[in-house]
């Protein structure tokens, strides 16, 4: 089934996105929100909506916080146009099954000689807090709330803004992202209000060997659609080379970008980026530190969903899994029965079941391994009952009824429309047992059950079956509306955003 939270988010996303049009009148204020933070992203041309995975996600796409696998602290400095400079600091950390949280601060200043009348100063500040989590192993969503303040000379104005986003992993190599940023009331200086630079961005990235390629489309309310493309290549372990391209209309600054990064054991990184424009060059310098608490991406997915079943491994056959579970059930029950060493034990089935042969073979193995003489239905004397022995060896009877011994496939899905099919396998064994003494009085009774869930590739299902054993050879249930609905919803979001990009027009 599609998660209710996923549906709620999708509806919210489709409702909020069109509201960007409300801010598309006139020239926006708070232009510092469009500078972009983080030297890695700047070196890749700002094509980062699907790649952000640390504190910089609070700028590019808050859903990227869901990709955080450890505590990360980043500080960044930007030498911008007209001698302006900006500083950015961020912190992100996972919260286990409760998602991830991030904090960010941005501050900038500019001063110039106001035609001989003295120095005129302007400044900007923003503070953001964000939260994200995985709704599914391949779907992360997030949002952030920002406080904004700008000053122009002696005048000042403040506001707030909301960002929301989503990241969807098509496969281990491909990912798409979408974000709506800077939704909020404008900045008002002396009773004149300028809207915020509301921005819609969609994009994707692809990992190929040691290279990453990314492409984003960005629409700001008072600018034409901007295309951002970037690539990163790691020729050696500690070095990353980056390049990017920004293409926009007459109202956007088109240029190429480049950068380089050095990292040590994924804990420390220094990144630099440069972007030339007709108005001058800009420089980014960033330092990132890992502060511990690291987990792998796979562990982060499993923690977020509370089960290790999402790990895709090479599976054993269904019958072998059921045998292991049966062995655990019988061993635990025999431990509780406490049958004396050397006793003779007869095993009897109470009801018929297709898996009786499996249970009896496990009983034979377990009892003989414990030093008992074992009798099953095939070795019992005609008429049943206990066998008398002149040497008075203690005799016991174990009677059992199989409540459940089966494998099922409760869930089937694909990573994407043409992705690898995955199947959740659920194997369960539940057996009721009774122990009787020579007098046929029941001295112990109880039930034991075991269950195992794992994920298997759909291409391997045929090899997991055991011919002639229906309980170990289930059929996949056809249908499942989530297999269709989830890709359609995601495609609808992306298609809607693309439509808005190319139909929203500035009223200038």
With helix as H, strand as E and coil as C, how does 209-255 read?
CCEEEEEEEEEECCCCCEEEEEEEEEEECCEEEEEEEEECCCCCCCE
pTM: 0.55
- Under the banding of pLDDT at 50, 70 and 90, the label for residue 67 is confident
Domain-embedded: residue 185: yes
Q: Which residue has the higher pLDDT, 326 or 182?
A: 326
Question: Token pair for residue 278?
Answer: 């007709």
Question: Token pair for residue 238?
Answer: 């500690």
Nearest to 110 by CA among 147, 150, 146: 150
Judgement on whether residues 233 and 380 belong to the same structural domain of the protein: no
Judgement on whether residues 227 and 283 belong to the same structural domain of the protein: yes
Question: Token pair for residue 159?
Answer: 């506001």
- Under the banding of pLDDT at 50, 70 and 90, the label for residue 1 is very low
Judgement on whether residues 119 and 211 belong to the same structural domain of the protein: yes
Give yes or no for residue 242 having a pLDDT over 80.
yes
Judgement on whether residues 292 and 329 belong to the same structural domain of the protein: no
Nearest to 464 by CA among 334, 285, 313, 296: 313
Query: What's the pLDDT score for residue 431?
Result: 96
Question: Which among 16-30, 125-139, 340-354, 386-400 has the top mean pLDDT?
Answer: 340-354
Domain-embedded: residue 482: no
For residue 215, the tally of other CB atoms under 10 A from its CB is 19
Give yes or no for residue 50 having a pLDDT over 70.
yes
Domain CATH code at residue 24: 2.40.160.60
Query: What's the pLDDT score for residue 95?
Result: 83
Domain residues for the domain of 424 are 312-477
Helix axes 4-16, 482-503, angle to 10 degrees: 10
Q: What is the C-alpha separation between 239 and 235, in angstroms, rounded?
A: 7
Domain-embedded: residue 10: yes
| Phi/psi at 384 (5° precision) | 70, -160
Judgement on whether residues 376 and 397 belong to the same structural domain of the protein: yes
Domain-embedded: residue 459: yes
Structurally, the chain folds into a number of domains equal to: 2
Question: Token pair for residue 177?
Answer: 């992202």
Q: How far is CA 483 from CA 9, 239, 422, in A?
A: 18, 40, 11
Helix axes 356-369, 318-337, angle to 10 degrees: 50
Judgement on whether residues 236 and 346 belong to the same structural domain of the protein: no
Round the average pLDDT of the chain to a whole number and report it: 77
Judgement on whether residues 433 and 495 belong to the same structural domain of the protein: no
Judgement on whether residues 384 and 255 belong to the same structural domain of the protein: no
Across 150-173, average pLDDT? 83
Judgement on whether residues 99 and 222 belong to the same structural domain of the protein: yes
Residue 207 sits at the vertex; the CA angle it makes with 202 and 210, to the nearest 5 degrees, is 140
Q: What is the C-alpha separation between 466 and 316, in angstroms, rounded?
A: 12
Strands (E), 114-236: 119-136, 139-152, 155-169, 174-183, 187-189, 192-194, 199-208, 211-220, 226-236
Q: What is the dihedral of CA 432, 436, 442, 447, to 10 degrees?
A: -20
Q: What is the C-alpha separation between 379 and 474, in angstroms, rounded?
A: 33
Judgement on whether residues 305 and 316 belong to the same structural domain of the protein: no
Residue 489 sits at the vertex; the CA angle it makes with 484 and 490, to the nearest 5 degrees, is 105
Judgement on whether residues 360 and 260 belong to the same structural domain of the protein: no
Task: Give residue 53's Cα distance to chain centre.
Answer: 11
Q: How far is CA 171 from CA 192, 207, 414, in A?
A: 48, 10, 10
Give residue-wise pLDDT tens across range 452-469. 998 888 878 888 988 889
């Amino acid at each position: 089934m599609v998660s209710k939270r996923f549906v709620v988010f999708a509806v919210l996303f489709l409702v909020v996105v069109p509201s960007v049009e409300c801010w598309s009148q006139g020239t926006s204020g708070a232009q510092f929100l469009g500078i972009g933070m983080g030297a890695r992203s700047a070196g890749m041309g700002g094509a980062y909506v699907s790649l952000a995975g640390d504190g910089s996600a609070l700028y590019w796409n808050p859903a990227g916080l869901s990709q955080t696998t450890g505590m990360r602290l980043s500080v960044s400095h930007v030498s911008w146009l007209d001698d302006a400079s900006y500083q950015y600091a961020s912190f992100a950390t996972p919260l286990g099954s409760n998602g991830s949280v991030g904090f960010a601060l941005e501050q900038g200043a500019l001063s110039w000689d106001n035609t001989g009348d003295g120095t005129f100063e302007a400044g900007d500040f923003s503070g953001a807090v964000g939260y994200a989590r995985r709704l599914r192993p391949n779907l992360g969503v997030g949002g952030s709330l920002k406080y904004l303040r700008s000053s122009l000379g002696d005048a000042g104005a403040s506001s707030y803004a909301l960002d929301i986003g989503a990241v969807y992993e098509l496969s281990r190599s491909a990912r798409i992202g979408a974000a709506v940023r800077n939704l909020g009331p404008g900045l008002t200086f002396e009773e004149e209000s300028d809207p915020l630079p509301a921005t819609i961005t969609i994009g994707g990235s692809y990992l190929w060997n040691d290279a990453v390629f990314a492409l984003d489309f960005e629409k700001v309310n008072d600018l034409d659609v901007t295309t951002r493309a970037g690539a990163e290549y790691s020729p050696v372990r500690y070095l990353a080379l980056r390049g990017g391209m920004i293409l926009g209309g007459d109202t956007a600054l088109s240029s190429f970008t480049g950068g380089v990064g050095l990292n040590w054991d994924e804990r420390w990184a220094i990144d630099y980026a440069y972007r030339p424009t007709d108005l001058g060059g800009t420089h980014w310098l960033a330092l990132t530190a890992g502060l511990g608490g690291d987990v792998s991406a796979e562990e982060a997915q499993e923690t977020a969903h509370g089960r290790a079943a999402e790990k895709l491994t090479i599976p054993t056959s269904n019958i072998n899994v059921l045998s292991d579970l049966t062995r655990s059930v019988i061993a635990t029950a025999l431990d509780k029965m406490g049958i004396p060493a050397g006793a003779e034990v007869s095993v009897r089935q109470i009801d018929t079941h297709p898996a009786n042969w499996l249970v009896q073979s496990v009983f034979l193995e377990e009892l003989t391994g414990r030093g008992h003489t074992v009798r099953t239905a095939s070795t019992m004397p005609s008429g049943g009952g206990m066998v008398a022995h002149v040497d008075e060896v203690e005799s016991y009877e174990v009677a059992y009824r199989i409540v459940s011994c089966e494998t099922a496939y409760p869930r089937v899905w694909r990573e994407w429309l043409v992705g690898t099919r995955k199947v959740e396998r659920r194997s369960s064994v539940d057996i009721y047992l009774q122990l009787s003494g020579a007098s046929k009085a029941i001295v112990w009774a109880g039930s034991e059950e075991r269950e195992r869930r794992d994920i298997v590739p759909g291409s391997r299902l045929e090899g997991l079956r055991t011919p002639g054993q229906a309980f170990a050879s289930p059929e996949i249930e056809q249908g499942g509306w989530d297999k269709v609905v989830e890709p359609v919803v995601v495609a609808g979001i992306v298609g809607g955003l693309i439509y808005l990009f190319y139909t929203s027009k500035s009223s200038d």
